[in-house]
Structure 1
Amino acid sequence: MQCFYMMVGIPGSGKSWYAENKLPDAVIHSSDAIREELLGDISDQNHQELVFQTLHDRVLSDLRAGKDVVYDATNVSYKRRMGFLHRVTAVNPQIKKVCVFMATPYILCVERNANRERSVPENVIDRMYRGFDIPMEAEGWDEIWVEGVEPFIGGISLLLSRLAALEHDNPHHEFTVGQHMLTAYEYFDKQYPQWVNDISLGRAVAIHDIGKEYTKVFCNAKGEPTDIAHFYQHERVGAYESFAHTTDLTLHERLKVALLIRWHMAPFAVEKSDNPNKTERKFKGLLGEDIWNQVMVLNDCDRHAH
């Protein structure tokens, strides 16, 4: 069967190495290689439209020729991934579509990048990390592979103990981050007995705010100093980091944990929307009604643990 592989990961995560060493029979088309070819500089970010138009043309051309193809770029946006998958399907609906997600720890990505001859500015990597959309089956993948994870040693109890020392420094929360997540899980255990055997939902409730450890800042969205802490995009970062804390689960369960964490703030967006019903339909259409209902359970546990 013909295969299309899309690499997904921030700079330094090992995407190109994986493609070259683990997918040797596929033709690799890389955004970095095209930048160097067309612009003479792998770091040039000023001609993105030209680079990606060339990349897309080459990928689709080789797919039409019946070849197995690797699309090697960061691909951090689920909307862009879905958009390109539609184009792949239009070439041939029978092509097997595989997402290869490099869930390499952020700090390791930064270290690798710093040791490169031509590195990406760290603020660019940070922006991608905070804006990362973990891959979802709903995007249209036949398979999602998760690679590069370094398991957290110590288990959930050690994680919650460590985060019990992390203050929220925000009037919306009385408890520390660790206490909040533990309280949320206790609420889940008591209020949702019908869900307690769903290991993915339970794990997501227990670690839903781990991203706050990496996103705590004392400034507003404009970068202006504030007296209280903010945790912008903690749900995205938490979803990324969750894979280190789910290595005991199946791949499907791990992806579901990350998915629930990624979208656990969505009900707040529904409430703030000018058209809540329309916004909720959008989320249901993206995630499916079953996952959306579980997002609502997680969100309820979150609200009752303040």
Structure 2
Amino acid sequence: MTPHSSLLTPKYSALFLLIGLPGSGKSSLAKQLVAECEQRRLISTDGIREQLFGDEAVQGEWHFIWHELQRQLIQALRERHQAIYDATNAARKHRREVIAISRNIGFTHITGIWLDTPLEECLERNRRRQRQVPEEVILSMYQQLKDAPPALNDGLDRLIRYSVTSTEIAIASMRKNRT
């Protein structure tokens, strides 16, 4: 038993771990998932940075962010919410750390959702953003995902890989231009 397991009591507590490059569509998907079900709680590193440092662009010291992430995961369990963790999770080491701590505090089912959007599309979306991630950072994350792609042996119970094709991107772009 962990120190937090008494908080748990639900037989099934789910965490959805979003994985993907900046600009891959993680935050859009997270917002959609939360809108579909009021029993879902969004936890994002950008949101935590905004909360702690007043600006999501401020990277800040990781141990403060890590502590707040754990606090929010525990709170989601207390409230019997499913948690959606919105971060790049590009490095296998970081994915495994989040999965391990999530299991330790009581999450019983962890699903990875990998938004495998083409690099070129992520870079283009990033260029159109108000707050841009440096291109070299995106390229580094791309290499991390290429070298150690998300897998069940990261500690996941399920992995959903959503590959966006260039055809889907073109169709979405045409729809957007019509409205």
TM-score (norm 1): 0.46
CA contact (8 A) 1:4 1:68 kept: yes
CA contact (8 A) 2:91 2:141 kept: no
What does residue 4 of structure 2 align with? Answer: none
Q: 2:124 aligns with which of 73, 88, 111?
A: 111
What SS class does the counterpart of residue 70 from structure 1 fall into? strand
CA offset at residue 34 of structure 1?
A: 1.5
CA offset at residue 23 of structure 1?
A: 4.3
What SS class does the counterpart of residue 131 from structure 1 fall into? helix
Q: 1:126 aligns with which of 125, 139, 146?
A: 139
CA distance in structure 1 between the aligned counterparts of 2:78 and 2:96, rounded to whole angstroms: 19
In structure 2, the CA distance between the partners of 1:146 and 1:23, relative to structure 1 (3 Å rule), is farther
CA distance in structure 2 between the aligned counterparts of 1:119 and 1:146, rounded to whole angstroms: 25
What does residue 23 of structure 2 align with? Answer: 12
What does residue 74 of structure 2 align with? Answer: 60
The structure number with the bigger radius of gyration is: 1
Amino acid at match of 2:24: S
Q: 1:140 aligns with which of 136, 139, 155?
A: 155
CA contact (8 A) 1:31 1:51 kept: yes
RMSD of the alignment, in Å?
1.9
What does residue 70 of structure 1 align with? Answer: 84
Amino acid at match of 2:159: I
CA distance in structure 2 between the aligned counterparts of 1:42 and 1:23, rounded to whole angstroms: 20
Q: 1:47 aligns with which of 50, 61, 69?
A: 61
1:16-58: CA deviation from partner (whole Å, max 9, x where unpaired): 1011113432100111112122212222224232223212221
Structure 2 unmatched runs, 5+: 1-11, 168-179
- Length, aligned pairs only: 151
1:68-117: CA deviation from partner (whole Å, max 9, x where unpaired): 00111111122222222222222336x22100111000111111111111
What does residue 170 of structure 2 align with? Answer: none
Q: 1:101 aligns with which of 107, 110, 114?
A: 114
Give runs of aligned pairs for residues 261-276 of structure 1, distance below 5 A.
none
What SS class does the counterpart of residue 118 from structure 1 fall into? coil
CA contact (8 A) 1:78 1:135 kept: yes
CA contact (8 A) 1:42 1:118 kept: no
Amino acid at match of 2:30: A
Greater RCO, CA 8 A, separation 6+: 2
CA distance in structure 1 between the aligned counterparts of 2:166 and 2:159, rounded to whole angstroms: 19
Structure 1 unmatched runs, 5+: 153-306
Name whichever structure is richer in strand by fraction.
Answer: 2
